[in-house]
Amino acid sequence: MIRNVARLSTPLLASLLLSAAPLAISPALAENSKPQPVPWVNTIPDARDIPYPGTITLDIDATDTKRGIFTTKEVIPVAEAGEMVLLFPKWLPGSHSPSGQIDKVVDLHIRAGGKDLAWTRDPVDVFAYHITVPRGVKALDVNLRFASATAADQGSIVMGPDIMRLQWNSMSLYPAGYFTRRIPVRATVKYPDGWHASSGLPSKSVGSVYTYEATNYEILVDSPVLAGRYYKQWRPARTGESTRIS
């Protein structure tokens, strides 16, 4: 009988000791659970008000209206080798939040001299891509696709069988370290055959290929394009002339 009681008391005693242990270490656990700031070093260069050394060229194919895909070939001149950061536009004109649609950027390749360069997404700012420019490289070739929404639950539908809204910020990258107003850019777009395009940015067209006036990246992003199969242009009214809609 006494032997059985001893057998029962051993696990009971262990249980009591274990239940008392948290009481003894709870102050230390409470201290450890307090959130602490994580050391962070910003590896994205701050923008400077100096001219970017070279003109970016954009060549966009906007003919894939069935799948709603814009395809970009971009050439970004570089002045020196070493670490470089390319940014996808985050804050857009008329927006009050970081609304750049980076989730729709696919098939991104950054090349130099015909060879792929490894890129790394910034661990804090997902709109930033880190690369290392090899010695002797004078320009980067950036290829990407913007897979626009094809259903309302995916976001704004900007491309259809007869009309589209082209937003330059959705299909281009730009170098960090410069104000966008100091980054020159020249763009060309191929639209579907028979389409016409209209933008605040002047352009010349040969068939369905439009070459836009050289500008800076800030103005480019603020100059979206409306293009479509059915197009008509009305001349603006002269001073003193009334307009009438019927």
pLDDT-derived band at 97, boundaries 50, 70, 90? confident
Q: Is residue 74 part of a domain?
A: yes
Range of the domain at 105: 56-228
Residues of the chain with pLDDT > 90: what percent? 71
pTM here? Answer: 0.80
pLDDT tens-digit profile of 71-92?
A: 999 999 999 999 999 999 999 8
pLDDT tens-digit profile of 109-118?
A: 999 999 999 9
Q: How many domains does the chain have?
A: 1
Q: Is residue 5 part of a domain?
A: no
Residue range 142-161: mean pLDDT, rounded: 94
Instruction: Return the half-sphere exposure (C-beta side, CA atoms, 13 A cut-off) of residue 161.
Output: 1
Taking a C-beta distance cutoff of 8 angstroms, is the pair 165, 158 a contact?
Answer: yes
Q: Is residue 46 part of a domain?
A: no
Say if residue 150 is exposed, middle or buried (CB neighbours under 10 Å; 0-12, 13-18, 19+). middle
What CATH number corresponds to the domain at position 194?
Answer: 2.60.40.3650
Q: Is residue 131 part of a domain?
A: yes
Taking a C-beta distance cutoff of 8 angstroms, is the pair 147, 185 a contact?
Answer: no
Q: Is residue 10 part of a domain?
A: no
Q: Is residue 241 part of a domain?
A: no
Q: Is residue 147 part of a domain?
A: yes
Q: Is residue 88 part of a domain?
A: yes
pLDDT of residue 10: 54
